[in-house]
A and B are shown apart, each in its own frame.
Chain A
Amino acid sequence: MHRIKIAFRVLVFMFGWVILHYALPQHDIVRVVNTYQERQDLNDWTRIFWARPDDQSATIINRDVQFIQTVKKKTYLLGFVPRDTTEVMVYRNEDTGWSWPFYFKFDTASLQTEADDLRSTPEQPKWAVVTHYGWRNEYFSAFPNAVAIRPVDSPNVTIIPWFNIFFFVALMAAIAFIRAMWRQFRERTVDPIMDSAGHRVDEVQADIAESRGRISRWLGTWRSKK
């Protein structure tokens, strides 16, 4: 039972971690190489890696998606430890509209223009910080969705993830609050009911025990007397 409990908790934690790792904003230091637009098929399970910018896009099976091609500074530990090496990274650029994940992004065309404006060559690099969510996966053709881009002077900027700090503080506070609510509910509502129910169960069991006693005494009258 104890092991099942631990396994269950680990599963819940991992599921939450995966969801948050996909949906929370992350920052990359990039150099924009090019932007392009390509028709994408949306009629298999990899649909979950594409956004739903409006309602008709929920049913159509292909549509044009804009992309931003970049060279990105590699990092360790979710972007906290910078490295000197670079890799290529391709972002999709899609509206999220009013649906999950709740970025309320409607400025895809403007973002594409900003990215175009920042295009540069390796000889004269213009560095920028891209805010994005999502994962890059070559085998599923999944791309992270860029939500903002801003130019920076050098690739060695320090980025403080204000939103994520605020989010995790709020999450801790919400968990503590729900715990307090649950405890109050159990102490004031569930426990009194359970107490009176337990009391009633005791009474019923006492009744049963007594009637059993009566039956066995009656049976006893049929047994031969020694």
Chain B
Amino acid sequence: MGFIRLIVFGFVGLSVLYLMISVYSRSVRRERLEKEFDADHPDNVDEDARDAYVAEGIAAYNSSIRPKLIGLVYVVPTIAIAAIIYMINEN
């Protein structure tokens, strides 16, 4: 029962962390794309071109490996717990 409690609360906590990091990572990427576009086109007035550039960059980000790496949020603590269990209980 304690094991199930740990799994459930751990999963909920890590999911919150996963969502926060996903949003953060995408937001940082979007900001960088906006700044890149503004630096390349200092006197641009075409908002649609800017939006298209950013949307393209976000699509490229979504299909890259970076957002998948955030899945490590689930993997690393699981490995850490397994390592602690082994080190504490082996003789």
- A interface, CB within 8 angstroms of B: 52, 54-55, 97-99, 102-107, 110, 114, 147-148, 180-181, 184-185, 188
Chain A residues with CB under 8 Å of B2's CB are 52, 54-55, 97-99
CA distance A103 to B85 in the complex (A): 7
Chain A contacts for B68, CB-based, 8 A? none
| CB pairs A–B below 8 angstroms (20 shown) | A55-B1, A55-B2, A98-B3, A99-B2, A99-B5, A102-B81, A103-B88, A104-B85, A106-B85, A106-B88, A107-B88, A110-B89, A147-B88, A181-B24, A184-B28, A184-B31, A185-B24, A185-B27, A188-B27, A188-B30
Tell whether B6 is near chain A: CB-to-CB under 8 Å. yes
- Residues of chain B within 8 A (CB-CB) of A106 are 85, 88-89
Contact residues in B for A110 (Cβ distance below 8 Å):
89, 91
| B84 at interface, CB cutoff 8 A | yes
Please state if A184 and B81 are interface contacts (CB–CB under 8 Å): no
Which partner residue on chain A sits nearest B7 by CB separation? A98
What is the minimal beta-carbon distance from A222 to any residue of chain B, in angstroms? 53
> Is B45 part of the contact surface with A, judged by Cβ < 8 Å?
no
- Please name all residues of chain B whose beta carbon is closer than 8 Å to the beta carbon of A102 when the two chains form the complex: 81, 84
Q: Which of B2, B3, B28, B31 has the most CB of A within 10 A?
A: B2
Give B1's nearest chain A residue, CB to CB. Answer: A55
> How far does the alpha carbon of A106 sit from the alpha carbon of B87 in the complex, in Å?
11
Name the prevailing secondary structure of the B interface residues.
helix
Q: Does B20 contact A (CB under 8 A)?
A: yes
B24 and A104 form a contact (CB under 8 A): no
| Chain B residues within an 8 Å CB radius of A104 | 81, 84-85, 88-89
Residues of B within 8 A of A97 (CB): 2
Q: What sequence of 0s and 1s flags, for each residue 25-55 of chain B, a beta carbon within 8 Å of any chain A beta carbon?
A: 0011011000000000000000000000000
7 shortest interchain CB distances as A-B pairs: A98-B2, A104-B85, A107-B89, A55-B1, A181-B24, A98-B6, A98-B3
B84-A181 in contact (CB<8A): no
Closest Cβ–Cβ distance, residue A165 to chain B (whole Å): 15
The chain A residue with its CB closest to the CB of B89 is: A107
Contact between chains at B88 and A148 (CB < 8 Å): yes
Which of chain B's residues 59-85 have a Cβ closer than 8 Å to chain A? 81, 84-85
Add 9 more A-B contacts to A104-B84, A107-B89 (CB < 8 A): A98-B2, A103-B84, A104-B88, A105-B88, A110-B89, A147-B88, A181-B20, A184-B27, A185-B27
